[in-house]
Structure 1
Amino acid sequence: MPVLRATALAHAPARTVTGALIELAARRAHLVSVADFTVEALLPREPFRAARLTGQCAQTAAGTLVTCSFSWVGGVVDAMLTRTSVLSIATSLAEGAKARAEALADAPVVVGTVIVRDRRILAQQRAFPDSVAGLWELPGGRVEPGETDADAVHRECDEELGVGVQPGERVGPDVVLPSGKLLRIYRGTIPADATPVAREHKGLRWLRRDELTDVEWLPADRILLDCLVDLL
């Protein structure tokens, strides 16, 4: 199976570089899976015979090394015909992720919170604006000036759910929003006797692993479903 790869060194955190790679890959390929530092996607079947992209971001002392590898099924003729095109795509993705991630260094951040109870994840249904009303998302919101990410998680969950949340570890990569903001997800813990209430949303649901795809998520949250499954 032919394999081609290209690399670039980005001066940005690995999770942000991964998010930039997701944004670029989604424009020309079908995303298959997303993890903390790895992206899998498929190019259109023609003319690449479903070439598979594996994008990996590794934090090093010099920066984040992003590697874009393509593998595909085909004989020698196919490899010769597609080699130049596939290598060009791999190079543009690696270099593009580097440039995009570095440009996002000072981007505003929106935090989301993964709250797990009894092997279920809490999701909330948007009530507004009309363009996204009815879609589902994780609790959270924008990090205000002077706030840390943890401060924003605590404040937003208090405002939206009426419960105190203890922010925990990061979950998944950054996701680049259409507005240019970065969606950043954290694990959150609430007291065992706390009862979240939908203060600003249509409703709440506790979703089991096999129910995560039963609701229509906001596009950015949907990208991270693989990471949510891993938590359950």
Structure 2
Amino acid sequence: MEHEAAKRVVVAGAVIDGGRFLAARRTAPPEFAGRWELPGGKVEPGESAQHALARELQEELGVEASVVERLPGEWELKAGVFLHAWWALLLKGEPQPLQDHDELRWLTPEDAFDVDWLEQDLPFVKEVVRRLKAPL
């Protein structure tokens, strides 16, 4: 039980608009600067992962998104801190790099790997590409 309490979650969102998804280029910390990720952030105490992601997307990108479902898997970022990714639909707003990012790019399944993704995001990006390519 103690182990579970010590587990912290960081959320990332595959923000979907039509047949494309959003990538964000990091400005910090230095070891991640210039690399790409699915946008998101930390879950605050007492906050659900879905609420945290919606809040982070509003703060970092200035958009409203509907957080639909968690993508399979998790990635341990450091001891006791795990990255979970969610499928999120863009509801309102044009994403802007307001915090933590200097560039945003909409990607399709065809150009999804044209950017230098952080390793922890790659399994989720592959899943997003698979879902976007899947026939309806």
Alignment TM-score, normalising by the size of structure 1: 0.53
Answer 1 or 2: which has greater helix percent.
1
Q: Which runs of 5+ in 2 are unaligned?
A: none
Asked if 1:140 is matched to 2:40, the reply is yes
Q: What are the equivalent positions in structure 2 for 1:186-205 lying under 5 Å apart?
A: 186-191=86-91, 194-200=93-99, 201-205=101-105
State the superposition RMSD in angstroms: 1.7
2:123 match: 223
| Alpha-carbon offset, residue 224 of structure 1 | 2.4
* Aligned equivalents of 1:126, 1:171: Cα separation in 2: 22
- When residues 122 and 103 of structure 1 are mapped into structure 2, their CA distance, relative to the original with a 3 A threshold, is farther
Give the superposition deviation at 1:132: 0.7
Q: What amino acid does structure 1 have at the position aligned with 2:22?
A: L
Partner of 2:66: 166
1:38-63 deviation line (CA, Å, top 9, x unaligned): xxxxxxxxxxxxxxxxxxxxxxxxxx
Residue type at the aligned position of 1:220: Q
2:19 counterpart letter in structure 1: R
Alpha-carbon distance, 1:103 to partner: 8.0
TM alignment of 1:106-121, pairs within 5 A: 106=5, 107-121=7-21
2:84 counterpart (153, 168, 184): 184
* Residue 179 of structure 1: how far off its partner (Å): 4.1
1:151 and 2:51 aligned:
yes
**AA in 2 matched with 1:196:** P
Q: Post-superposition shift, 1:214?
A: 0.8
The residue aligned with 2:22 is: 122
Segments of 5+ residues of structure 1 without an aligned counterpart are: 1-101
**Equivalent position amino acid for 1:151 in 2:** H
Percent identity between the aligned chains? 36
Moved over 6 A (4+): none
Contact 2:85 2:124 in 1 (8 A): no
Aligned residues: 130
Distance 2:48 2:108 in 1: 30
